[in-house]
Amino acid sequence: MSVELFSLGVPILGICYGVQLSSLLLGGKVKPAQNREYGRASVKLEAPSELFAGFHLGDEIAVWMSHGDRVESLPDAFRRLGVSDNCPFAAVESLKHKFWGVQFHPEVAHTPRGNEILGNFLFRVCRCEPSWTMANFVDEAIQKVKQQVGQGRVICGLSGGVDRPWQRPWYTVRWVTG
């Protein structure tokens, strides 16, 4: 990652290592934490931010941490939004750099209000419109494949894991291409 990223003028959300790297690139200090943090933790919110809209100052929110290093001092134009027992900068922002960051993992189920935080970033900070649906995606993807392939043939390479709903890829490809 390059410091030039911050001159693009787009909102950036740093998660875990993303907070550390961004802070380091912009002049902050990152050091090994006295205690590694892995597992459930509590972050106390100390300052208002669009990232935490719907939360209250002083709220202690349950989060999932996974880090051995931590930000020790913030770069100029950054401010602390939240703190944990082991992390003095558990949530931060810099309006100047259009940067928001959390040392914890909002994307996991172990952070119960994580989806709310991610939603705030997308819809309040980035001003995205919540118009995407899986049905729209499938319909658009099918149309793109049909336009590209036409009457041609398709080779489908599919991995396991996250694509579990597509357990019969041969039938899916036949259905999409006719």
Catalytic residue among 16, 87, 93, 97: 16
Torsions phi, psi of 43, nearest 5?
A: -115, 125
Helix (H, G, I), strand (E, B) or coil at 143: helix
Let me know: does 41 contact 64? Beta carbons within 8 Å: yes
CA distance 30 to 23: 8
Catalytic residue among 105, 110, 116, 126: 105
Strand partners, 60: 44
Catalytic residue among 46, 50, 72, 107: 107
Provide Rg for the chain, Cα atoms.
21
Q: Catalytic: 50? A: no
Q: Catalytic: 107? A: yes
CA 5 from centre of chain: 16
Q: Catalytic: 110? A: no
Cβ neighbour number for residue 42 with a 10 Å cutoff:
16
DSSP letters of 36-49? EEEEEEEEEE-S--
CA angle 133, 51, 39 (to 5 degrees): 90
Catalytic residues: 16, 105, 107
